[in-house]
Amino acid sequence: MPSRRKFIQYLSSSACAASLTLWPQRSPATNLSPLGFEGLAHGTDRHHHLPPGYSAQVLLRWGDLLSGEESDWHPRSMDAEEQNRRFGYNNDFVAFMPLPLGSMGSDHGLLCVNHEYTNPTFMWPGLNRITIHGAMTRERTAIEMAAVGHSVVEIARHDGKWSVVDGGYNRRITADTLVKLSGPAAGSPRLQTRADPQGRTCRGVLNPCSGGKTPWGTVLMAEENFNFVFHGAATDPAEQRNHQRYGVGSRSAYRWWSRHFPRFDLGHEPREANRFGWVVELDPHTPGSNPVKRTALGRFKHEAATVVLNPDGRVVVYTADDQAFEYLYRFVSSGVYAPNDRASNTHLLDDGTLFVARLHNDNTLQWLPLRHGEGPLTNANGFRDQADVLIETRRAADLLGATKLDRPEDVETNPRDGLVYALLTNNQSRHADALDAANPRSRNTFGHILRLRPPGAPGDVVEHAADSFDWEIFALAGNPAEPSQNARYPGTTGDGGWFAAPDNCAFDPAGRLWIASDQGRNWRATGFADGLWGCAANAAGEYDFRRFFRAPVGAEVCGPEFTADGRNLFLAIQHPGVDGLVGSSYDNPATRWPDFDAELPPRPSLLVVTRDDGGVIGD
């Protein structure tokens, strides 16, 4: 293996920029179904778009009632109590959980949806960056707190149309819901506060972005940018170091939360922030049950919590830390899954080992355990116990020498062959002196996708708990027709098939990969709106990429989630009319999607996409 200096010099050379190729793509385990739809062209406008022969039903909008008798609603007159009864803001992760529990049905189930954050300038009139801080009253802040978190909604399909069922399952999880703390960090002095001197409960789920589903029928909510709501500074030097590593207090985009609710003021409650940034497990099939923060999975800005079973029955959870130069993680349970004893699985995520990835330049990956007392994770470096390691997961991973990646976001496993896909959205702060094989582009505007190969993959017996994997670059996003972007795809893209800023992904029942994008304000660098792309391979390993969905301007596409029959696709569309649009607001939005009502602002909404002939999506 060449020295790091020589490797960086090689990557930085113009010869490398012109000749960089991907690892040879291996043939998939099964010949996948091809893409049978006409790919969309790139573009940007106020509406959403689908290929001919497809339609989208707006199933849920911000403010839609989840249960009870319908009442008049308007954002101008809403209060926090009313928001607690209604669908939240900025819907992100989507899970469809068939009913009854354990079935594989596609016509009736629970829709479990994360609500990541709010855009106040699109929730109330008259707000802008200057006026917002004074205009955010206690009541408006309480509405924001009620608009984030999670929604559980029972839905059913009749005569081809989906509707909400007013049943006992429907409920909201918010920033004020009682949540239990479990695992190695529960009870730690660093999780104890005035409101919870035992350190075993907290109030709220903050900024849940992506997530996952467990084999025992629960959902996982991944708390991400929790730092945005905390303001001030702690006096304890250890907590100051901890907060600095997570950006807590220094980037308080919602500082009015601390003004009206002192628990978000670090000077008043310096340990409250330590109770956020976890993976939260929720049983949607048991109304009234408390969510549980599983501290064994580590604390950071989680994106995704994808669960897969190892051949020996242990549970493996893949997750990532969504920020530039952060890390890829994996949790392996100590216990094994019991398919016929749901109750025995309820603590599987409390006991196990968290690992962080080091990706070597020879395309091998080493999983490094984050265990107290091993290597640098000792008292000498400020880690008194395993709770400290998990509360300060980022610093522990720093000391282990994990590979800093270009905003690792969603991590998904292909159920057909066991390969693992890690989406790296972008990182414009990476310079030529910090390149490596897994991050080969400086100022990585367009992002890329890594594919991890556990021992046995592709195949039927895949060792997801193995200490070492192989890895490859699956795709370098961007326009392959522009040499300066150095984009590479393992197949054909056409005019509308190339993408930028891969964020979320999913596999449909036929094994095809679907990639959603989140360019943020950088969509102006490509000139087109975010969307969803289908990706299928033939037996020779040649891939076809096509744009399937185009979002309204300023919006991000989240989800995606298929029903088991492949005939329904749920997409969460968040912040329409917001990203990259200076001057767009409640009063003068760039789009009024999805209602196009002059009296209403744009509303984050959840779509269900179907084929007009009732067939399988993508065929």
Which position has the higher pLDDT, 195 or 537?
Answer: 195
Q: Given its phi and psi angles, is residue 516 left (phi above 0), alpha (psi -120 to 50 degrees) or beta?
A: beta
Q: How many CB atoms lie within 10 A of CB 488?
A: 17
Return the pLDDT at 167.
87
| pLDDT, the chain, mean | 93
Which position has the higher pLDDT, 12 or 471?
Answer: 471
Work out the average pLDDT over 267-276.
97
Return the pLDDT at 68.
81
The answer to whether residues 494 and 546 touch, using CB atoms and an 8 Å cutoff, is yes
Edge-to-edge strand list for the sheet holding 364-369: 302-309, 314-321, 328-336, 352-359, 364-369, 468-476, 448-453, 420-424, 408-413
Work out the average pLDDT over 76-85.
94
Q: Is the dihedral of CA 548, 549, 554, 558 positive or negative?
A: negative
Return the pLDDT at 250.
74
Return the pLDDT at 12.
34
The span from the CA of 517 to the CA of 531, in Å, is 6
Q: Which band of pLDDT confidence, cut at 50, 70 and 90, is reported for residue 1? A: very low
Return the pLDDT at 13.
33
Work out the average pLDDT over 411-436.
97
The single-letter DSSP state of residue 291 is P
Return the pLDDT at 8.
31
Return the pLDDT at 19.
30
Return the pLDDT at 72.
80
**Cα 128–chain centre separation:** 28
Domain locations in the chain?
A: 4-224+277-611
Percentage helix, strand, coil for the chain under 3-state DSSP, each rounded to 5 = 15, 30, 50
**Is a pLDDT exceeding 60 seen at residue 15?**
no
Predicted model pTM: 0.94
Q: Is residue 131 classed exposed, middle or buried when 0-12, 13-18 and 19+ CB atoms within 10 A define those classes?
A: exposed
The single-letter DSSP state of residue 133 is H
Cβ neighbors of 5 (< 8 A, separation 6 or more) are none
**Is a pLDDT exceeding 60 seen at residue 14?**
no
E-strand spans in 99-234? 108-115, 149-158, 161-164, 171-173, 178-182, 201-203, 208-213, 219-223
Cβ neighbors of 30 (< 8 A, separation 6 or more) are 416, 417, 511
**Is a pLDDT exceeding 80 seen at residue 257?**
yes
The helix/strand/coil state of 54 is: strand
For 144-182, give one letter per residue: b (16+ CB within 10 A) or e.
bbbbbbbbbbbbebeeeebebbeeebbbbbbbbbebbbb
**What token pair was written down for 301?**
């800005």
Quick one: what percent of the chain has pLDDT higher than 90?
90
**Angle at which helices 237-246 and 393-400 pack, to 10 degrees?**
80
